[in-house]
């Protein structure tokens, strides 16, 4: 099963992979090609494609473990959703205070 | 003159440097030690410290050129400042619409 998290990590750190690894990962995760289809495209074995993907996944995971930027962005997105919900439900003093608190949370995260 | 941008890039990508480079950069940019003070600490020459800093700055700049995450976070911070200003000045239909538009901008950026 393809891993949704890897698509996100590709968005963040994909540019740090080699051109070939990035292309293979894009075909696999973003264009949803099979290992065999990618193998045919590159004239390499199915196992060769798999090896490239496993190596690239490991690199992307290492970058996230070192930097944690995807996790950080996810928290920001969650807080933005809360802010929008508060704004949409109309405002009073209490919701304004809550919005400002959420913005401060996001800013501390950055 | 020390470069403020480098402090930010350290926050983002510092964990991708070697331990020694990261330590030297922290002493130089975050603890504001001089080249001579760092040289004494490590028992290396002042020029050796400078070389390490130049190399580390280049690496950090390359990461930002590839990933652009600091730039992205800066735009998010700017938009959050605008949202907070709108919330603080009290709200009406028009400012709510503007806040929701700004949140959408931030979300598209992520």
Tell me the pLDDT tens digit for each residue of A53-67.
Answer: 999 999 999 999 999
Q: Which of chain A's residues have a Cβ under 8 Å away from the Cβ of B103?
A: 80, 83-84, 87
Distance from the Cα of B56 to chain A's closest Cα (Å) equals: 16
Average pLDDT, chain A: 89
What token pair was written down for A10?
């590709």
Q: How confident is the model at residue B91 (pLDDT cuts 50, 70, 90)?
A: low
- CA–CA gap between residue B83 and residue B96 (Å, rounded): 9
Could you tell me which of B104, B37, B35 has the C-alpha nearest to residue B76? B104
Q: Which of chain B's residues have a Cβ under 8 Å away from the Cβ of A90?
A: 96
- The answer to whether B16 touches A66, Cβ cutoff 8 Å, is yes
Cα–chain center distance at B16:
14
pLDDT recorded at residue B2: 66
Cα–chain center distance at A92:
35
% helix / strand / coil in chain B, to the nearest 5?
85, 0, 15
Task: Tell me if chain B has a CB within 8 Å of the CB of A89.
Answer: no
- Complex ipTM value: 0.76
């Amino acid at each position: 099963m393809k891993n949704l998290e890897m698509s996100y990590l590709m968005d963040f750190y994909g540019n740090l992979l080699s051109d070939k690894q990035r292309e293979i990962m894009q075909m696999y995760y973003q264009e949803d090609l099979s290992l065999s289809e990618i193998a045919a495209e590159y004239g390499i074995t199915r196992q060769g494609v798999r090896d490239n993907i496993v190596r690239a996944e490991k690199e992307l995971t290492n970058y996230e473990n070192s930097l944690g930027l995807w996790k950080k962005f996810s928290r920001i997105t969650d807080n933005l959703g809360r802010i929008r919900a508060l704004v949409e439900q109309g405002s009073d003093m209490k919701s304004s205070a809550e919005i400002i608190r959420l913005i401060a949370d996001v800013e501390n995260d950055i």
